[in-house]
Amino acid sequence: MRKQSKHPFGFVNEPMLDFSQLETRLAIDESLREVHDLYGKIYPLILGTEEMTTRELFLRPNPSFLNERVGYVCMGGKEDVDRAIRLAHRGQPLWGAKTMRERGDILLRAAELMRQKRMFFIALMMIEVGKGRGDADGEVAEAIEFLDYYGRCAPWLQHIAQSTVVQVAGEENTWEYLPLGVGASIQPWNFPLSLSVGPTAAALVMGNAVIYKPASHSAITGYYMVKLLREAGVPPDALHYLPCPGSTVGNYLISHFGIDFVAFTGSEEVGNDMEYAFALCNNNTRALPPHQQHKKKVAVIEMGGKGFIIVDSDADIDEAVVGVSNSAFSFQGQKCSACTRVIVIDDVYDEFVRRLSERVASITIGSPENAKNMMGPMVSREHYDNVRKYMELAEREGTVLARGTVSEELKNQGYFLPPMLVGNVHKDARIAQEEIFGPVLAVFRAKTFAEAIDLANYTKYGLTGGVYSRDPQHLALARQALQVGNLYINRKITGAVVGCQPFGGMKMSGNGTKAGGWDYLLNFATRKAICENTVRRGVAVK
């Protein structure tokens, strides 16, 4: 059950569904049938008031049943980028002129609409990207929370900013938050709803116009997200839905002179290329187009992770085994926050590995539509092949301690891979340093807690980490020394809660934007200070 938290502006976290209740399970089954009935549908671009089909279509199969065609996504071209940006610049001033309260109320209406369509979005993600019902429900809850939290936070933020201004005799000083302009929200497939809703809604509530580019593998979920935001009251010219090939049209989108900022979640390689492209656009005076009036800004950038959990010698082994397993293998390890390294103190290493190995070997694999399955498929053929190569590498770089079983029938049916636990891994091994984004967990032995911390920090990433320990001194050291944006103590390291655990990394994991915190909105605005000499205040009479 998700914890309830209350904030100064009235926000309360969204409760999770109880899947032990028969009516909840029946509602999920009904929504799965609803999604099945949509199979084969063509999903157009949404630019302004028009829904436009294109010649280039992306076929999205069900990754659990490759013979099932979930839908066809229209892919945009450069001319569609030009059109979307033109419409966005036309609509942004009107949208930006609304008050924080007016825009926030639209997000609150969107949150209520998503509550009503919760089962549909759960079922859609189960089918489109292979997410288990528990993970899918957690994601919908998080998306609702982003809408509700940012919708309430924006007007509160304006009030707090004004109430903290220092006043000087004879002057009236005010602060206002102004939008950045027109931005691109480029989001990944592994959290197709919440990671799309979060930055898109935050940019919108601050008065920006947004061109939303979803990942191709999750573009159908993105389509219904945009339709919901439009239904809630976001004007057509303020939000556009534009799936497109990333390496060509996507690059054209972010380098376009009409794009003022980008919110990006994805791979380190693409993120670094984006920042480099922006630096070139901003710093090469000769290359600046005459129409560009703003410095391009990477407002939000979240990249890779190499999450870890330290298991101390006095840890509750029962809790640690469950927490590590859930953190490593939920949604097949396809989370940037997933546990990919577990570091165990020597005294409890053998017992912990034995019990974790038993749990890994017992994980059931298959379609998420069957509630008994604990792991589903990889999202795509490309990703399946990449993770399988890492599994082959793991066999060379370490010793396989345990793995699950995938039947031949499942191999022919979908993109299924087994969970794998690997020991005797050197800290410089590729599987210890590179983001795999799959169900491969490397286990390390440490003689002391200080050595465990050094191993944990021995990577360029700094997103999530955890510790299972009952030693106050060790926990104090962990709080101070572990280099992560989100540290979890005696619990799993996935599933950050909006308003409680703002999410974002350090080092090469991103710029620490802390999604789900009040200051996240500041990434999408600039502050304007206004000073009036009140001694000269008066009314001119003509």
Q: Cβ of 304: how many Cβ atoms within 10 Å? A: 22
**List 336, 339, 397, 435, catalytic entry:** 336
Q: Is 302 a catalytic residue?
A: yes
Give the residues across from 62 on adjacent strands: 65
Q: Is 56 a catalytic residue?
A: no
Query: Residue ranges of the alpha helices (H) in 234-316?
Result: 251-255, 268-283
Query: Which residues are within 8 A (CB) of 296 and not within 5 positions of it... i.e. 6 or more apart?
Result: 259, 260, 261, 262, 278, 281, 282
Are 518 and 157 a contacting pair, CB within 8 Å?
A: yes
Token output for 337: 């926050």
Is residue 50 helix, strand or coil?
Answer: strand
Is residue 500 helix, strand or coil?
Answer: coil
| Phi-psi region at 233: left, alpha or beta (left = phi > 0; alpha = psi -120 to 50) | left
**List 139, 142, 302, 397, catalytic entry:** 302
Q: At what angle do helices 22-37 and 118-128 cross, to 10 degrees?
A: 60
Burial class (CB in 10 A: 0-12, 13-18, 19+), 459: buried
Token output for 426: 């050197």
The Cβ-side half-sphere exposure at 362, using a 13 Å CA radius, reads 8
> In which element (H, E) is residue 478 found?
helix 472-481
Token output for 86: 């033109």
- Annotate 134-158 with b (16+ C-beta within 10 A) or e (fewer): bbbbbbbbbbbbbbbbbbbbbbbbb
DSSP letters spanning 78-107:
HHHHHHHHHHHHHHHHHHHHS-HHHHHHHH
Token output for 447: 């003689």
How far is residue 529's CA from residue 535's CA, in Å, rounded to a whole number?
19
| φ, ψ dihedrals at 170, nearest 5° | 85, 0
Could you tell me what percentage of the chain is helix, strand and coil, using 3-state DSSP and rounding each to the nearest 5? Answer: 45, 20, 35
Are 184 and 156 a contacting pair, CB within 8 Å?
A: no
Kindly list the catalytic residues: 302, 336
